[in-house]
Structure 1
Amino acid sequence: MNYLTCLYRKLIGARYFYKGYEASKGQNASFNSARDFEGHGSHTLSTAGGNVVNGVNVFGYGNGTASGGSPKARVATYKVCWDGCYGADILAGFEAAIHDGVDVISMSLGGDPQEYFQNGISIGSFHAVSNNIVVVGSGGNSGPTLETVANLEPWMFTIAASTIDRDLASNYVTLGNKKIFKGASLSGINLPQNKMYPLISAADAKLDNVSAVDSLLCKEGTIDPHKVNGKILVCLRGENTRIDKGVQASRAGAIGMILANDEASGNQINPDPHFLPASHVNFTVGNFIFKYINSTKFPVAYISKVITRFGVNPTPIMAAFSSRGPNFIEPSILKPDITAPGVNIIAAYSKAVSPTEQTFDKRRIPYITMSGTSMSCPHVAGLVGLLKSLHPTWSPAAIKSAIMTTATTKDNMGKHMLDSSLDRATPFAYGAGHVRPNRAADPGLVYDLNITDYLNFLCGHGYTSSQLTVFYGRPYECPKSFNLVDFNYPAITIPDFKVGHSLNVTRILTNVGSPSNYKVRIQAPPEFLVSVEPSRLRFTKKGEKREFKVTLTLKPKSKYITDYVFGKLTWTNGKHRVATPIAITYPQ
């Protein structure tokens, strides 16, 4: 993403920052303008703060009323990326947003994990939070591999991506053996009905002078038009873009394309605005189609027209691309923090670019569907804007806690959320769970933090007083001791439990609701005993704080843990449920 998206109470604007880029590249920025030349910034900004618009659709699909998360917010964009993102420009964007008095920053950008004091995003976001601005960041799109999540700062609100119950653009592939498989597409072109078409693998359609590996990927200059003309071509995902594969199939004379996932892409399929009838199918289906082609003398298939389905079950499911924890920089902080809708999201698009981003594509549309943690991030930023309006005195940490502790780990069928592989998902995929906006508005209790807490966290992480100057503006005297497990985060993560010992973890809850009594419920991680003292908390007034201690003990004769195990403790008064995930492991 090129932009920081900000929500205001007072101002509207667009600014751009490029001096870091020019200093690094030794050349002028390609466009000295805040204009969005790729569509990504328009999409995320409208998701966070776009007004209500009727009749929104993409090539006629998914037609309905669209709205940003904070539809009456004032918005501003700060363009900080050009040919790549540079720390100086990101910092300049943060400082401008702070100066302008924004309330929320939606940051759909990130980079490789880097120590906080060396990271422009870490420093800029710390300055923003110290000015009471909530900073929401994308968790990254490098999943499902573990330890890939980005934006790892405890003061950052890091968002994963999951599905919604609308299947925007699904179609079906029917094979000559009568097998029917679901796919996805945004192609506005349909095959004539009631007719089957010859089917060919791109590996079998290669030119004589290229490898079957390259032709299977439908790379430019690898497909023989004489072998493909009038047939449905089956391409494998990988290396070149999904759109480009359809372009190469169309140029070679294919009448349609089936795009099959490679193993790494798993079950996640994407509706793309192809130039020919097309269907994107998952890895399992793709394997079946290739086997059908290889076992049949005259394979044939048909691709149905695209339809939009609602009420899809189960949902949410974690997106395959959504980056996973644990936290590479500081494993005692659970990341991502939460998950939100990030798959096939319809939002605004820039008419400065085509829907395929190909120069020869002359189509221009005002809305498009995109997927990524860039899309889930502004969903949460919009919610934060609403919470800031409801609770203007809440700190960034209180707002973050309210959203995390009221999240759900259940899907719409009442079962535990799944990964894209349809296995049980874990907090390293979804953090505290899937966002529930209405519950977040009235959480009952919150885990609060202030700038001193964050500085003490950095001390516990191992930074010296002089290293903290980049965050605090002056040297900070670290406390004589600070245990990271007692950092008042809305999650408990123990990456190095010491065998043969019990571990005590302290947390403090602040009452933001009516006077009430809470009792604790414990779902202990496998192989561990968990106790909480006290097991009941009484709050007599708003703003009152209560401390509790969690004791974790390995069960006698427990097996060695080869991976993290997970649990949860929940404080409830009958109306509110304040849930805290637990993640724990110990070295062998």
Structure 2
Amino acid sequence: MKISTLNLMSMLTLLISYSACVVSQEKNSLQKTYIVHMDRSTMPGSLDDHSQWYISSLKSVSDSAEILYTYKTVIHGFSARLTAEEAKSLEGQPGVLSVLEEERYELHTTRTPQFLGLDKSEALLPESNTVSEVIVGVLDTGVWPEIESFDDTGLGAVPSSWKGECEGGENFSSSTCNRKLIGARFFSRGYEAAYGPINGTMESKSPRDDDGHGTHTSTTAAGSAVAKASLFGYAEGTARGMATHARVAIYKICWLGGCFASDIVAAMEKAVEDGVNILSMSIGGALSDYDRDSVSVGAFGAMSQGILVSCSAGNSGPFPESLSNVAPWITTVGAGTLDRDFPAFVSLGNGKKFSGVSLYNGKALSDSLVPIVYAGNLSNTTTGSLCLTGSLVPGKVAGKIVVCDRGLNSRVQKGVVVKDAGGVGMILTNTASYGEELVADAHLIPTVDVGQTKGDLIKNYIFSDSNPTATISFDGTQLGVQPSPVVAAFSSRGPNPITPGILKPDLIAPGVNILAGWTGAEGPSGLPADTRRVKFNIISGTSMSCPHVSGLAALLKAAHPEWSPAAIRSALMTTAYSTYKNGEAIQDVATGMPSTPFDYGAGHVNPVAALDPGLVYDATVDDYIGFLCALNYTANQIYTLAKKDFTCKLGMKYSVGDLNYPSFSIPLETTSGKGGGSGAKSIVKYTRTLTNVGTPATYKVSLSSETQAVKMLVEPESLTFSKLNEKKNYTVTFTASSMPSGITSFARLIWSDGKHVVGSPIAFSWT
């Protein structure tokens, strides 16, 4: 067959186009998102603005790369898709401080006002019209605006300081916002660059919350009061946020595939420009140096403009050094329990009865005993006890209660697996990784969650009885549970893995079984099989404790609008409590033993006391820059965080310990021997500055310690303040004996005028 010249040219054109497409696809598969930090002071004078400079810098290494976002507020620079070679080449361009591969962050997934004492102290709280001037920005999965928690009844005009807007999009109208929910935006360029266009059948490309997490955190921080709220009758009462009159602004940064750094920074930037006063972020990623962690860099920029940033500590406890968000300019929040529980019971055929927890509300089992089996006995695999999808044989579990071990898949998903195999109920038992921690869930099958000890006893019964039987029952909501609070086992712990000289977390707040608003797009379990729809849900995590502190910070900002973020955090920390009323230390549910400052930081938040702390440990941007100098940060690294040129002074002694922080963490020298105390002594001096935010008074210091290995001397022993905002310095000298590596000990320093108690935890670690 003869091919015409025209046809041949057409074929060649198609071939060339196809080849170019293949090359483009291959390049796209090699590209990743990078965040480029720029030194704006070095922009060539021939250019009119920084955006032009960023574009020309990018084009110098790639003709096809496009900028995702430009940043000018919390960071200086831009984000773009690049190959590794292009990123490396860009890093050598003039004015480029660093080129960092984007990190993916994950979510850290009522009774609270009464538990915190807010219901009994209305007279001490700031006026509602003052609180209504405070704007809490929440970076999360978006918002479900139709629920009553965003009712704006009684609120006046939107604060004049607000510069934001309500963005429309899929399933979300720009007219949805009101005087409570004053703004909503979404950020998806980074996410879509990594995963492709958002699938509108699975999630909304808009501020709409299809997950529930963002609605839960935002209503916890500042939701309006809603009477007779509950989840299936559990935890019934008035649901309200910590700052019921504060305004809420939503920034959707998290999608089905996670939360991407380029989107997070863009949202933080816009929130600062919009005029928020508090930023609440219940997310976390892998630990890295402060100038390489996008949340840390963005938080520094927000802090420098007077915005307090509250972040969750993470859900990787009870393992040590498991924290996220440890920068000292971030308020890092761990999780504790409430004095409320949702008891459920397992009754065995041998007459024994064990208590656990559950939020199941469907048809209950009869009082008649039914056969019970342990999933671990039904499989030869090492994961057989976990009730993973497809792991149960219907013929072996039909009509029976199945005992499943916690781990790998979600707790509620295990019940779905049991149900699909014909099981009639589930007992979910903790393994050593979870100890005695109990987290209630809205199960889809009659289920009781029990701790490790009770779980082992139930398994022993199954192993030893030829015909084991059981039944399950439920007992609603129980109040007044003691001891409370206790540190949640999942709450991430110190020591601080980045800077051991800064104690983290800063404090703990309620984070277990928290009732708050929920999305209408997901059932309470979040599983596809869960077709139930609720207005409120009960979930747990440091994601839940973080917005408690965000909302309480809003109350403090309303009462003291002149306070800096450091002053607000100081007030929350120095008034926190670490013991029960009987003087015993707050317990750690993971061990059943007393917890330590590595678990709870300064202690459990006490908002009423925080409104009048007496004294605060304040800190400025320059104080944090001095801290960076103590870490030997370069001028470029400091510019990345502070957005200004600064060179640490030669010959000046910078000390991490001298950062004006409300807590103390002292890494000490170790001895190689098994004994301690006989080697050379370490002498460390820390200086702190206290600012009077109360009436004139004289404060005297007191010290308590659990160790003889460290002698402490405070000079002077008393401080007299004669006027508001007066500052006084003091020095603590720690003289420590050498001890074996791994030893820790704790102490507490208190300044008191007889009315105010200004407490600081002290953590010693020989490492």
Q: TM-score range by the shorter chain?
A: over 0.9
Structure 1: runs of 5+ lacking an equivalent? none
- CA contact under 8 A between 1:314 and 1:412: conserved in structure 2? no
SS at match of 1:357: coil
- CA contact under 8 A between 1:497 and 1:584: conserved in structure 2? no
Aligned match of 1:477:
647
The offset of 1:113, in angstroms, is: 0.7
Q: Which residue identity does 2:291 align to in structure 1? A: F
Deviations 1:477-523 (A, max 9, x none): 22333111111100111113484232111111111000001111101
The correspondence of residues 135-150 of structure 1 with structure 2, limited to 5 A, is 135-150=309-324
1:573 to 745, 750, 753: 753
Query: Separation in 2 of the partners of 1:26 and 1:221?
Result: 31
Aligned match of 1:454:
624
Aligned match of 2:430:
261
SS at match of 1:203: helix
Tell me if 1:356 matches 2:536: no
Q: Return 4-13 or 571-580, whichever deviates more.
A: 4-13
SS at match of 2:457: helix
Query: Separation in 2 of the partners of 1:184 and 1:163?
Result: 14
Aligned match of 1:425:
595
The offset of 1:218, in angstroms, is: 1.1
Tell me if 1:334 matches 2:503: yes
The offset of 1:28, in angstroms, is: 4.8
Query: Separation in 1 of the partners of 2:682 and 2:495?
Result: 23
The correspondence of residues 5-16 of structure 1 with structure 2, limited to 5 A, is 9=159, 11=162, 12-16=182-186
Aligned match of 2:721:
539
Structure 2: runs of 5+ lacking an equivalent? 1-106, 109-137, 143-149, 151-157, 163-181, 671-679
- CA contact under 8 A between 2:559 and 2:611: conserved in structure 1? yes
Tell me if 1:551 matches 2:733: yes
The offset of 1:439, in angstroms, is: 0.4
Query: Separation in 1 of the partners of 2:334 and 2:323?
Result: 9
1:55 to 228, 231, 251: 228
Query: Separation in 2 of the partners of 1:40 and 1:562?
Result: 38
Distance 1:253 1:506, change over 3 A: same
Query: Separation in 2 of the partners of 1:247 and 1:24?
Result: 32
The correspondence of residues 204-219 of structure 1 with structure 2, limited to 5 A, is 204-206=377-379, 211-219=380-388
- CA contact under 8 A between 1:202 and 1:217: conserved in structure 2? yes
1:492 to 659, 664, 672: 664
The offset of 1:411, in angstroms, is: 2.9
The offset of 1:415, in angstroms, is: 1.8
Distance 1:232 1:503, change over 3 A: same
TM-score (norm 2): 0.74
Q: Return 220-229 or 505-514, whichever deviates more.
A: 220-229
Q: Which residue identity does 2:312 align to in structure 1? A: S
1:520 to 698, 701, 722: 701
- CA contact under 8 A between 2:441 and 2:539: conserved in structure 1? no
Q: Which residue identity does 1:114 align to in structure 2? A: S
The correspondence of residues 149-548 of structure 1 with structure 2, limited to 5 A, is 149-167=323-341, 169-206=342-379, 211-411=380-580, 413-420=582-589, 421-479=591-649, 480-497=652-669, 499-526=680-707, 527-548=709-730
Q: Which residue identity does 2:695 align to in structure 1? A: S
The offset of 1:199, in angstroms, is: 1.2
- CA contact under 8 A between 1:342 and 1:371: conserved in structure 2? yes
Query: Separation in 1 of the partners of 2:474 and 2:235?
Result: 14
- CA contact under 8 A between 1:138 and 1:160: conserved in structure 2? yes
SS at match of 2:593: coil
Query: Separation in 2 of the partners of 1:23 and 1:563?
Result: 47
Aligned match of 1:128:
302
Query: Separation in 2 of the partners of 1:575 and 1:182?
Result: 43
TM-score (norm 1): 0.95
- CA contact under 8 A between 1:525 and 1:582: conserved in structure 2? no
- CA contact under 8 A between 1:204 and 1:212: conserved in structure 2? no
Query: Separation in 1 of the partners of 2:632 and 2:192?
Result: 34
Taking every aligned residue pair, what percent have the same amino acid on both sides? Answer: 44
Q: Which residue identity does 1:372 align to in structure 2? A: G
Q: Return 475-484 or 288-297, whichever deviates more.
A: 475-484
SS at match of 1:294: helix
- CA contact under 8 A between 1:9 and 1:102: conserved in structure 2? no
- CA contact under 8 A between 1:313 and 1:412: conserved in structure 2? no
Deviations 1:193-246 (A, max 9, x none): 43222111113344xxxx343332112222122221221111111111111110
Query: Separation in 1 of the partners of 2:612 and 2:219?
Result: 26
Query: Separation in 2 of the partners of 1:458 and 1:416?
Result: 34
Query: Separation in 2 of the partners of 1:559 and 1:452?
Result: 35
Q: Return 186-195 or 37-46, whichever deviates more.
A: 186-195
Aligned match of 2:51:
none
Distance 1:42 1:503, change over 3 A: same
Query: Separation in 1 of the partners of 2:343 and 2:563?
Result: 42
Query: Separation in 2 of the partners of 1:414 and 1:296?
Result: 45
Distance 1:138 1:546, change over 3 A: same
Distance 1:203 1:212, change over 3 A: farther
SS at match of 2:766: coil
Q: Which residue identity does 1:485 align to in structure 2? A: G
- CA contact under 8 A between 1:268 and 1:320: conserved in structure 2? yes
Q: Which residue identity does 2:726 align to in structure 1? A: E
Query: Separation in 2 of the partners of 1:412 and 1:41?
Result: 35
- CA contact under 8 A between 1:184 and 1:281: conserved in structure 2? yes
Query: Separation in 2 of the partners of 1:190 and 1:367?
Result: 21
SS at match of 2:759: strand
1:92 to 266, 269, 272: 266
SS at match of 2:754: coil
2:188 to 10, 18, 24: 18
RMSD: 1.8
Q: Which residue identity does 1:501 align to in structure 2? A: S
- CA contact under 8 A between 2:280 and 2:547: conserved in structure 1? yes
Q: Which residue identity does 2:657 align to in structure 1? A: V
The offset of 1:473, in angstroms, is: 1.9
Query: Separation in 1 of the partners of 2:188 and 2:658?
Result: 41
Query: Separation in 1 of the partners of 2:231 and 2:243?
Result: 22
SS at match of 1:264: coil
The offset of 1:584, in angstroms, is: 1.4
Q: Which residue identity does 1:154 align to in structure 2? A: P
The offset of 1:305, in angstroms, is: 1.9
SS at match of 2:568: helix
- Count how many residue pairs are aligned between Structure 1 and Structure 2: 580
Query: Separation in 1 of the partners of 2:762 and 2:703?
Result: 10
Aligned match of 2:91:
none
Query: Separation in 2 of the partners of 1:335 and 1:312?
Result: 28
- CA contact under 8 A between 1:457 and 1:482: conserved in structure 2? yes
Deviations 1:232-268 (A, max 9, x none): 1111111111111101111111121101112101111
SS at match of 1:466: helix
Deviations 1:510-555 (A, max 9, x none): 1100000111110135111111111011111111111111111125
